[in-house]
Amino acid sequence: MDRVHKSFKVRALDPRSAIINERLKNAKRIFVVLGGKGGVGKSLIATMFSLMLAKRGHSVGLLDLDFHGLSCHIILGAKGMMPTEKKGIIPPEVHGIKLMSVAYYIGDEPLPLRGTEISDAFVELLAITRWGRIDYLIVDAPPGMGEEVLDIIRLMKRSEFLIVTTPSSLALKTVSRLTRLLLEAKVPILGVVENMRITETKLVEEYAKKSDIEYLGSVLFDYNLEECLGNPKKLLETKFARNIKNVARKIL
């Protein structure tokens, strides 16, 4: 039988999305740390989780996707290191964590990106980063429901979401919208963490109950945390770390 030869335009098909799941297939679990507002402690929680898991002997990857607020490298005190180029890029190990961040490349330069550019940078980074076999990939997402969060939902199929908020009605209002987005997207929500608690309050706990998501506990405001930034050993000895350990017990 004769074959029909056919040519079709693929409308400038972007090949990168096709490889993302392949790049992530050897990560046993993917946790995405996100929140409605900035400054609620997402990066510190994502990094602390990574440090704890690495200390327990797990292989851990940490991906900083907050392009406008890159922080994980500062928290870990990563200096003078670069990813290795080998059929893609391999993130360097920082205190036992494979840390991937564009901060390696841009240093302290500002990175003014618009929406589609953020999405492109996200896809590029995921398409070329080779994590190898890891037990956990922790993703530090930027605040809100912008490009990065939508792309995580779209492209990182096995993600489990950990919501961070402060016990403030302002933060909770945005978390409420974010939670609805995640529920509508039918992605697994690990629960909500109440961070930087100063006074006794049931605000977050009641919100979690009302929204039918798990309340993972509270993390007290730690006045000594700032001086431990950049020093993972000291960070692991903080009150903050002890509180996070209780949260971790509920999801691991």
Q: Which is nearer to another protein, 13 or 198 (CB)?
A: 13
For the bound state, the minimum distance from the C-beta of residue 164 to another protein, rounded and expressed in Å, comes to: 26
Closest approach of Cβ 126 to another protein, in Å? Answer: 10
Q: Which helix (H) or strand (E) holds 119?
A: helix 115-128
CB under 8 Å to 1, separation ≥6 — which residues? none
Interior angle at CA 73, CA 191 and CA 95, nearest 5 = 85
CA dihedral 68, 236, 46, 83 (to 10 degrees): 60
Q: How far is the CB of 21 from another protein (least distance, A)?
A: 9
Angle at 31 between CA 119 and CA 26, to 5 degrees: 85
Nearer to another protein, 127 or 213 (CB): 127
Cβ closest to another protein, residue 94 vs residue 127? 127
DSSP state of 18: H
Q: Which is nearer to another protein, 40 or 118 (CB)?
A: 118
Whichever of 16 and 29 has its CB closer to another protein, that residue is 16
Six-digit token string for 20: 């993302």
C-beta of 28: minimal distance to another protein in Å?
22
123-145 burial, b for 16+ CB within 10 Å, e for fewer? bebbbbbbbeebbbbbbbbbbbb
Question: Which positions lie near another protein, rule CB under 8 A?
Answer: 3-10, 12-19, 22, 85-89, 102, 105-106, 109-114, 117-118, 120-121, 124-125, 127-128, 130
| Least Cβ distance, residue 90 to another protein (angstroms) | 11
